[in-house]
Amino acid sequence: MIATAAISLASCGGKSNGSTAELDSLATETVAEEDATPAEQAQAVITLLQEQIKNADPEQIKAIGQQVADKVAEFIAKGDAEAAKTYSETINRFISDNAETLKSIGASTTIAEALSKVEDLPAGILEAATGAATGVQTSADAQVDAAKAAIEAAQDAAAAAQKQAEDAAAAAQQKAQDKANQAIDDAAAAAKKKLGL
């Protein structure tokens, strides 16, 4: 099925003008394949997306995004939230893996935008789509935050270790002082005893 979709799309060549209807038709046929699992249907859409990323055509990707939204809406209308989740997650993984390329051609949020218009869409699906579209920046921000947290944790650990060492040294010094004082007191008491005082 995926190979057929790819071959059919390749026959359209790199034409941008006048090919949207053909792409819509192909995407509809591919997505509507009744015998395919949600993951397989999503994979067929990914094949279309890969071709349009090569063509750097945001308009065609936008058309595919609408097909994705329509399919998710269809799953939801049937009460099959699990299929909607599997289908969208499969596509979102691809979007996340190719977020930087999609941004460079101005198509990073097209599918998320299409999904945002679907009625009764579970919040998690839209959040995942939005996160996938901005995945590169999110990942970079997360790495920076993690690095900052690690530095702060190391500083806190160093401060705690220094305080612990200072406390231990102070305790040892106090113990030694107490022993010295006790020894003086004991010597004085022994001397008084010898003198009969």
Taking only the tens place, the pLDDT of each residue in 93-134 is: 888 888 888 888 777 677 778 777 787 677 778 777 777 777
Note the Cα 46 to chain centre separation in Å.
19
Q: Report the largest interatomic distance among the alpha carbons of the chain, rounded to a whole angstrom.
A: 121
Query: Cα–Cα distance between 46 and 95 in angstroms, integer?
Result: 9
- Same domain for 157 and 99: no
- Same domain for 86 and 166: no
Note the Cα 129 to chain centre separation in Å.
11
- Same domain for 118 and 177: no
Among residues 133, 162, 186, the one where a domain terminates is 133
Query: Cα–Cα distance between 129 and 110 in angstroms, integer?
Result: 10
% of the chain surpassing 90 pLDDT: 2
Contact between 115 and 88 (Cβ < 8 Å): yes
pLDDT at 176 over 50: yes
Contact between 27 and 1 (Cβ < 8 Å): no
Among residues 94, 117, 133, the one where a domain terminates is 133
DSSP character for 76? H
- 3-state SS of 146-168 is HHHHHHHHHHHHHHHHHHHHHHH
- Same domain for 120 and 83: yes
- Same domain for 9 and 60: yes
CA distances from 144 to 60, 83, 134, 151 (A): 34, 35, 16, 11
Mean pLDDT of 73-87: 88
| Res 114: pLDDT | 76
- Same domain for 126 and 147: no
Q: What is the pTM of this model?
A: 0.47
- Same domain for 71 and 23: yes
Query: Cα–Cα distance between 129 and 147 in angstroms, integer?
Result: 26
Q: What's the mean per-residue pLDDT of the chain? A: 74
CA distances from 145 to 38, 138, 155, 183, 186 (A): 35, 10, 15, 56, 60
Mean pLDDT of 150-158: 75
Q: pLDDT confidence of 34, banded at 50, 70, 90? A: low
- Same domain for 161 and 120: no
Which range marks the domain in which residue 95 is found?
2-133
- Same domain for 74 and 160: no
Query: Cα–Cα distance between 70 and 88 in angstroms, integer?
Result: 11
> How many structural domains are present in the chain?
2
